[in-house]
Amino acid sequence: MRSVEEFDDLPTDASFTTVDTHTEGEPTRILLDWLDESPLAGESIRAKRESFADEYDWVRELLMREPRGHDDMFGAVVFEPHEEDADLGVFFMDSEGYLDMCGHGTIGVVSAFLDLGYLSPEPLIRVETPAGIVEARPEYSEGGVERVTIQNVESFVYGTTTVPVSFLDSPLRVDVVYAGNFFALVDSDQLGVGIDTTRTDDFIDWGLEIRDAVNDKLDIVHPFTGDPGTVSITEIYESANDADRSIVVFGDGQVDRSPCGTGTCAKMALLHDTGKLSIDEPYIHESIIGTQFEGRITETKQRDNITVITPTIAGSARITGKHTFVKDARDPITSLRVASKER
């Protein structure tokens, strides 16, 4: 048998080092290779992400998709930050593309970097993301990081619309909310079903159709930056006794196993807008697998006649592995998708 060291003799033409985590059940595969020296152009994490998407999208596909990942894999790429007072720069990717902000991913990166000693254990870590700076406040125990509270970017209800959908006779009411990503929020009462995971395939189909219908109807422009936007995530929610539950669909039909950090912030913005959640009131948001984030609105203000909230979410992440992925020069398959997921 060959020894493990001989692994280096493989005819690889590329190799990638990751640390993998899960946050309340949702994976984050964190690419480490360009932390010290980035080959990517751009003077912000957002610009670096554009440069990555232009030149290295195959790396996203290689790490996110089969045979190294899977259709529901999620990832983060970390860099030295550009913003002066940030500690870390991160952008986020999935098996189909990129998101501007991710709560579970930020908790994963901060927890892993602290547990591995890549960051010093400060009470506040500032993370530069394509959506802006988010603040992470870790809670430490003897074993390492126990829980991280993320203060997301300012979030707000963008508007309410109705869209025709193939699975209902009447138009569907959708609240469009910004929380680092634009969300389409839908009350599951309108669909006549609760958040029942035996119907996950239906929720995926509905979620993608709703997202497309809203994007076809609205020309979204971020009111404070003027940047054009699109809804990237559909969140279908129900209210239970102890916690609100949601199923969150994004990418090419991915389903978040965690309660979705930015989705929790979007839901809090909507609840505040309808007078159902006050400042400092704890908000428990549950995922399809029963894991929870604890949310809170810490501040609200009026900006250009829009009510804006500052939301926080808290949850835990654990490391699941450290990996060296290789691309064998003889291998014609860099990445693939299973036919049933090709919509």
Binding site for ligand PYC (CB under 6 A): 26, 74, 99, 102-104, 250, 256, 258, 260-263
Please enumerate in sequence order all residues whose Cβ is within 8 A of that of 31, keeping only pairs 6 or more positions apart, or say none: 16, 17, 18, 59, 63, 75, 76, 77, 78
By C-beta, is 26 or 273 nearer to ligand PYC?
26
By C-beta, is 99 or 157 nearer to ligand PYC?
99
Inter-helix orientation angle 45-55/57-64, to 10°: 80
Round to whole Å and give the CA distance between 88 and 110: 9
Please enumerate in sequence order all residues whose Cβ is within 8 A of that of 125, keeping only pairs 6 or more positions apart, or say none: 87, 88, 110, 114, 119, 135, 136, 137, 138
Active site residues: 102, 260
Round to whole Å and give the CA distance between 54 and 315: 33
By C-beta, is 18 or 262 nearer to ligand PYC?
262
CB of 178 to ligand PYC, least distance (A): 13
CB of 119 to ligand PYC, least distance (A): 20
Quickly tell me which residue has 């020296």 as its tokens. Answer: 37
Round to whole Å and give the CA distance between 229 and 214: 12
CB of 236 to ligand PYC, least distance (A): 14
By C-beta, is 89 or 108 nearer to ligand PYC?
108
Round to whole Å and give the CA distance between 36 and 92: 18
* Spatial contact of 86 and 126, defined as CB atoms under 8 Å apart: yes
CB of 92 to ligand PYC, least distance (A): 7
CB of 41 to ligand PYC, least distance (A): 26
By C-beta, is 113 or 327 nearer to ligand PYC?
113
